[in-house]
């Protein structure tokens, strides 16, 4: 597995053992499962294998598929249509799928334990979590279900009006702890989600949402996140990685620009590399941890192999507030 990470260091300067504290309270490098395929003959024994590296032949095949996609990109007329009003397609998506498409993300406690150690624990004090691209609440509601902090506030934001309606209509919606608002992460107007002020948020969650933005929107999105987060606040990130199965399956007429596609339902998706993410976040955030989650999914009945690649990261806002003239320059220890 390809992983770049910063080890957890204790205040005394020594390195913490990952076995010192329970898994759901640990804050060490991402684990991504521990099922290794050591014997190729055993590949059909389980539905999934972790940390499966590609060989040279697979790499070449992937590059050939991407080259073929470039031969038949989205035509200019359709590209203008998909790029002009992306929220429309997400509205249609949630009207069709309602809250049934995505499963609740119960893995959050394992992969992002800092939420539970610092925000939902009983004595955490006033804490605010913002989930951007909240969809139907599949992240917000599991966090609320585990919450023991009477002063926790969770705000869901999505640029799909229908998604926000689904959150508000859910029987799990608790206005004492949850709010939901229509908001575009790449909004250039300066408007923030309702009820939030600048530098008032402790955690921003971005799970499979940044990939829906066009590359030219990234800088605006990062500046909006920086405006919302407190110094030392965290961005918890998970999204699609380059050469993921979903990328390689695209046929002709789906490529908008390099690594950026439109699905059959009109929604858009980008596939990142670690280097790209570092450059995108570098001016405003410290890369605390980053990893590439490589998984081999197996359809044992049909004897099919499907390679999934996701990127996961935790970014920390630099410690000093900026003065309005540009990114903050402090350092988070």
> Picking from 118-132, 159-173, 196-210, 269-283, which range would have the lowest pLDDT averaged per residue?
159-173
Query: pLDDT tens digits for 192-235?
Result: 998 999 999 999 999 999 999 999 999 999 999 999 999 999 99
d(CA 127, CA 280): 26
What pLDDT score was predicted for residue 25? Answer: 42
Whether residue 6 lies inside any domain: the answer is: no
Query: pLDDT tens digits for 55-114?
Result: 788 888 889 999 999 999 999 999 999 998 888 887 887 777 655 545 556 678 878 889
CA–CA distances in Å: residue 316 to residues 79, 181, 203, 249: 35, 24, 9, 34
pTM: 0.81
- Report the candidate in 128, 124, 131 with the shortest Cα–Cα distance to residue 148: 124
What's the distance, Cα to Cα, between the start and end of the chain in Å?
A: 27
What pLDDT score was predicted for residue 4? Answer: 34
Residue 21 has pLDDT above 50, yes or no: no
- Cβ atoms 1, 32 nearer than 8 A: yes
Residue 306 has pLDDT above 80, yes or no: no
d(CA 86, CA 213): 9
d(CA 261, CA 251): 10
Beta bridge partners of 214: none
Q: Which two tokens stand for residue 121?
A: 């624990």
Q: What is the DSSP letter of 121?
A: S
Q: What is the DSSP letter of 84?
A: H
Percentage with pLDDT > 70 across the chain: 77
Whether residue 2 lies inside any domain: the answer is: no
**83 contacts: CB under 8 Å, gap ≥ 6:** 214, 256
What pLDDT score was predicted for residue 80? Answer: 92
Percentage with pLDDT > 90 across the chain: 56
Question: 3-class DSSP state for residue 43?
Answer: helix
d(CA 328, CA 333): 15
Average pLDDT over residues 12-38: 46
φ, ψ for residue 81 (rounded to 5)?
-65, -50
Residue 177 has pLDDT above 90, yes or no: yes
Looking at residue 140, which CATH number applies to its domain?
3.40.50.150
Range of the domain at 313: 72-293+309-317
Q: Which residue has the higher pLDDT, 324 or 320?
A: 320
Q: Which two tokens stand for residue 4?
A: 């770049």
- Counting the structural domains of the chain, the total is 1
d(CA 18, CA 16): 6
What pLDDT score was predicted for residue 57? Answer: 81
Residue 44 has pLDDT above 70, yes or no: no
Residue 303 has pLDDT above 70, yes or no: yes
Q: Report the chain's mean pLDDT, rounded to a whole number.
A: 81
d(CA 70, CA 252): 8
- Report the candidate in 231, 166, 168, 232 with the shortest Cα–Cα distance to residue 194: 168
Residue 288 has pLDDT above 60, yes or no: yes
- Cβ atoms 211, 269 nearer than 8 A: yes
> Picking from 137-141, 288-292, 300-304, 326-330, which range would have the lowest pLDDT averaged per residue?
326-330
d(CA 128, CA 138): 17
Whether residue 259 lies inside any domain: the answer is: yes
CA–CA distances in Å: residue 218 to residues 174, 176, 192, 211: 32, 33, 17, 10
Residue 318 has pLDDT above 90, yes or no: no
Average pLDDT over residues 37-58: 67
Beta bridge partners of 318: none
Angle, to 10 degrees, between the axis of helix 274-281 and the axis of helix 218-228?
60
Whether residue 302 lies inside any domain: the answer is: no
């Amino acid at each position: 597995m390809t992983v770049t990470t910063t080890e957890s260091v204790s205040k005394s300067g020594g390195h913490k053992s990952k076995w010192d504290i329970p898994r759901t309270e640990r804050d060490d490098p991402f684990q991504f499962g521990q099922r290794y395929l050591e014997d190729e003959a055993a590949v059909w024994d389980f539905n999934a294998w972790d940390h499966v590296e590609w060989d040279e032949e697979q790499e070449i095949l992937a590059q050939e598929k991407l080259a073929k996609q470039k031969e038949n990109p989205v035509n200019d007329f359709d590209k203008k249509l998909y790029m002009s009003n992306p929220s429309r397609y997400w509205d249609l998506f949630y009207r069709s799928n309602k809250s049934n498409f995505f499963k609740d993300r119960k893995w959050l406690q394992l992969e992002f334990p800092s939420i539970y150690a610092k925000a939902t624990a009983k004595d955490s004090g006033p804490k605010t979590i913002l989930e951007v691209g909240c969809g139907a609440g599949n992240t917000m509601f599991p966090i609320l279900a585990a919450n023991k902090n009477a002063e926790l506030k969770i705000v869901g934001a999505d640029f799909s009006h229908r998604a926000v309606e689904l959150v508000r209509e859910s029987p799990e919606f608790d206005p004492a702890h949850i709010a939901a608002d229509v908001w575009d992460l790449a909004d250039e107007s300066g408007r923030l989600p309702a009820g939030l002020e600048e530098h008032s948020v402790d955690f921003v969650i971005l799970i499979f949402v940044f990939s829906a933005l066009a590359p030219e929107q990234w800088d605006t999105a990062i500046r909006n996140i920086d405006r919302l987060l407190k110094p030392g606040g965290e961005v918890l990130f998970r999204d699609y990685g380059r050469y993921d199965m979903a990328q390689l399956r695209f046929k002709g007429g789906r490529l908008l620009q390099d690594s950026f596609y439109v699905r059959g339902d009109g929604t858009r998706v980008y596939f990142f590399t670690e280097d790209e993410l570092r450059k995108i976040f570098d001016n405003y955030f410290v890369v605390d941890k980053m990893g590439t989650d490589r998984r081999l999914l197996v359809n044992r009945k049909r004897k099919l192999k499907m390679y999934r690649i996701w990127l996961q990261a935790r970014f920390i806002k630099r410690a000093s507030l900026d003065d309005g003239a540009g990114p903050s320059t402090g350092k988070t220890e």
